[in-house]
Structure formats: structure tokens, C-alpha cells
Amino acid sequence: MRGPHNIIRLIRTGATLERTGAMNVVLDAFEAPRAIRFLAHALGKPFQWLGYKGDPDMPPATRALTALGPAYIKFGQVLSTRPDVVGVELADQLRVLQDKLPPFSREEAMKEVEKELGRPLGEMFEEFSEPIAAASIAQVHKAKLADTGEAVAVKVLRPGIERAFRKDIDAFYFAARVIEFIAPGARRLRPMDVIAHFDGVVRGELDLRLESSAASEYAANTKDDQGFWLPPVIWSLCARRVMTLSWADGIPLGDNAALDAANHNRRDLGERVLRLFLLHALRDGFFHADMHQGNLKVAANGDIIAYDFGIMGHIDEYTRRVYAEILFGFIRRDYKRVAEVHFEAGYVPASQDVDEFARALRAVGEPIFGMDASQISMGRLLNYLFEVTERFGMETRTELILLQRTMVVVEGVARSLDPHINIWEVAHPVVEDYIKRSIGPRAALRDFTRTAMVLARFGPRLPNLVENALIAQTKQEEPSGNDRWSTLLPAAVGAAAGAAAVLAVLALG
């Protein structure tokens, strides 16, 4: 039944896009070729009566996706982090997608908790509230622990949500295959890769043990960050479909009137949000990738509280150093160095002209200096940056796209708190401190020490490795004279390097 199910679902999708006026918006954003446009309208127009009406007060794209249900809402949210795929304008529309859906009953939630945790509810909680928030994948209840009386938040997956998502994702894969078959030119948009990325995100969110793990790692990384707090995970009450955290009371970061009434300094809060995001991204390489106002609160003592850890970003140490150098180059207005870093990291093909690339980057950076955030459209700035990198053949790097996109969201949060905040001025000390610690002689010594420690583990095996390499070499056709030494020299050098590394570790120890 896979085929009929997919075809019916896609017809209804096309009908909804047509009925809500979203079809051309989506096709234009993806720069869809003529064949795809013809197929999309053929699936949509004749069956508009089958489409969902949606909320006419919403923009067309968000209206259509909200009407189509949880999987489409989540797909739109994930696409909002990929302006390289859908364009900045549509990404901005999708970013405000709300997945507030009707809750399922308290009784169903209680049954799910008992089933997942394998204990009667009364043994775990003395109180268990009606749903206080309901989203596309899960909903949250406030509860009180039976043994300590501590207030907690219990997140429970919707019944049957895995099967519902699996059906829709299967239809998405089917659509991607059809697109690649009918319009080979559309393969540059990598439709299968986009769906695979979405599939991976959703699989992570449908296992609350993974979100619990992300929350725990994030808390361990940030435990010493002043003015920032994460509700601890209560592991004994977590499972695949249930997640329990300590309760977090606070004012939503988007409620300026309440923040003012509580005498919180909004300018300080805005600057702190920016600093914390950059600190987590650069120092830890693990950051909250969904830091909008709905996932942030302010405690009575002024601490910023973050929650909802379903979408987290990760970048390795090398990429963090590259990104820091790029960011620092922009801050210093050293566009030649920014261009060189792109070439050194292999982000831009060596066949391109570094000076021309530097001039293009200057056009990105110069408009932001001497201006406050209220005069800068970060969306347009990001859009131009994508245009520049695409023109110079830079390959899309998903982790950097997510980082840049989150930076725009965080800048928007900060601007809502203080319209005159400047992201670059706030970023300067954080990036400069990271540069000092991560690039330079001390960092090079630390890198060498780590490398030596890895090689040292192979110390006892080095003699056999070298001997086996020499034996294997001599079994091959005997080269003559200097040629023989030229083939044995790499093995000798490798052995010497390994021995030097072991000595280095011993000396440093």
C-alpha cells in the first residue's frame, strides 16, 4: 500500500498548497524547474476541494503547513534552518511556524507514562496536571514528585506519533524520488538529502532519551556560565517516550512588559543571550539551535533559563577555529584574511581569485559597521552572503548553515529586547578570547600533546608495524639504488615520528 498511500497524500498536499495560495511561493523559493511546476499544479488544481483551508490570517506557506499537520509543521521548522535550500525570505516565514496543537487527554498521557516507566503513576507523582503546552510531537504536564514534592515538567510523546510521522516521511521520500526522476536539473537542490536531514532530526526528537542526553550534555558544558541555568534531567523518570525535568519558573523572554515590571535589565539580557550563544558554539561546539523567545525564560534572580533541546547544533573543533577566524576577520574588517581562511579551509575552490572573493566579502561586511541593529536586516545580509559563497563555488556546509541561522534568530531575540544592540560589538570580546585560547603557540602545543598521546598508545606496536612494513616492501619487486631508499624512507620517517611523539609525551608528563 506504500504507492497508493503516498500518491493520495501528495495529491492532498498539492491541493492544500493550491487552496492556501502557497504553491507558487514554495515553487519560487525552490526555483523549481518547469517540469516540477507542471506536475505540482497538475496534482493540486483539479483537487483543490480536497485541500485543507487553514487559517487565512497566516502567510500562505505557514498556513498550508499548519493545516497539513504535525509532520509538515516540523518539516517547515527544519527547513527554516536551511535558507540555503529555501531562500532567506521563505525561511523567515517558516521560522515563526507555531506547532501548538490540540492536546491529547491527561488520562492518555498518564497511561503512556506508566507504560514507559513501568510503575504506577501514584508511586512516581503525587500530582499530575492537565496539559500545559501541546506541540506537534509531544505535550508537557506539570507534576510533583511523590518522594520529595519537587515540581517537575513531564514531556510525553503523542500516542501513535511515530507511525504518523513515518507515513508522511515515506511520502516525502517518494516525492523526492519523483522530482529527481522527472526533473534531473532539480538534483542540484539535493531533495533526497533534504528529506534525509529532516528524517534524522525527527528520529532524534521521537526518542526523548536522546533529547534528555542532549540536555544533560548541554548542562554539563554550561554549569559554570553565570546568568544561565538549565533545568536538570531526572534520569530515573526518563524513557523513550517520556522525559522529566525540574520545573523552571520564569518570565517568557518575549514578554517585555512583564520583564520591565520585574525590573529586569533588557539590554543586559539581550547582550547575555548573544554572548552565551557564541560562547557555547565556539567554546563547546554544542549549542542550542532553537533559541527563540518561546524556549527562553528569565528567572526571578535574572538568570536566563533555556529548555526544549530537540534541535541542538554541533561543530567540531577545527570548524570552530575556522568560523572564529572568519568572524574575527569580519569584526576587524580584515576581509583579505577572511577570504584566505575560506581558501585555507577548502571552503572555496583554489581556482577562484582570493582578492576578488575578499572584495565580495567587503560588500557583505561594510554595511554593518557604524550602524545599530535596528538599521540592519540580518536576513538580507545573510541572503547576500549565500549569494557570494554560491557565486564562488563554496560547498554548502550544513553545520555552518545551522550556526549562521541560529545566530540570526538569537540576534532577533536580542533586538526584541533592545532595538539598538549591535551583534558585532557584543561578539568581539567572546570571539577574541576564543582566538587567544585556540589559535597560537599555546594551542599548537596542546594540539601536539593530544596527537602525541594518541600515537603513544601505539608505542608497543611500533616495532612490529615498522618491521611488517619493511617485510611487505621487500616482498615487492626489488627497486634499485636510490629508488629502494625512496620507498623505505616514508616508513622510517613514520617510525621516527611515532618515537618522537612518545618521547614528547614522556617529557610533558
Within its chain, how far is the Cα of 71 from the centroid? 18
Query: In a 3-state reduction of DSSP, which class is residue 77?
Result: helix
Burial class (CB in 10 A: 0-12, 13-18, 19+), 73: buried
DSSP label at residue 394 = P
Query: In a 3-state reduction of DSSP, which class is residue 392?
Result: coil
Residue 95 near residue 409, CB atoms below 8 Å: yes
Residue 410 near residue 291, CB atoms below 8 Å: yes
Burial class (CB in 10 A: 0-12, 13-18, 19+), 246: middle
- Which candidate, 108, 113, 110, 155, places its Cα nearest to that of 133? 155
What whole-number distance in Å separates Cα of residue 473 and Cα of residue 488?
Answer: 8
Q: Which residues are designated catalytic?
A: 290
What whole-number distance in Å separates Cα of residue 477 and Cα of residue 484?
Answer: 10
What does the longest C-alpha to C-alpha distance in the chain come to? 87
Residue 6 near residue 174, CB atoms below 8 Å: yes
- Which candidate, 59, 60, 56, 58, places its Cα nearest to that of 18? 60
- Which candidate, 88, 59, 64, places its Cα nearest to that of 75? 64
Task: Give residue for cell 553545520.
Answer: 399
Q: Secondary structure of the chain: what % helix, strand, coil (to 5)?
A: 65, 10, 25
Sheet holding 296-298, edge to edge: 228-229, 304-306, 296-298, 251-252
What whole-number distance in Å separates Cα of residue 23 and Cα of residue 14?
Answer: 7
**Helix H or strand E segment including 143:** strand 138-145
CA dihedral (24, 26, 29, 31) in degrees, to 10, reads: -70
What whole-number distance in Å separates Cα of residue 144 and Cα of residue 124?
Answer: 9
What whole-number distance in Å separates Cα of residue 164 and Cα of residue 155?
Answer: 19
**Helix H or strand E segment including 94:** helix 88-95
Residue 314 near residue 284, CB atoms below 8 Å: no
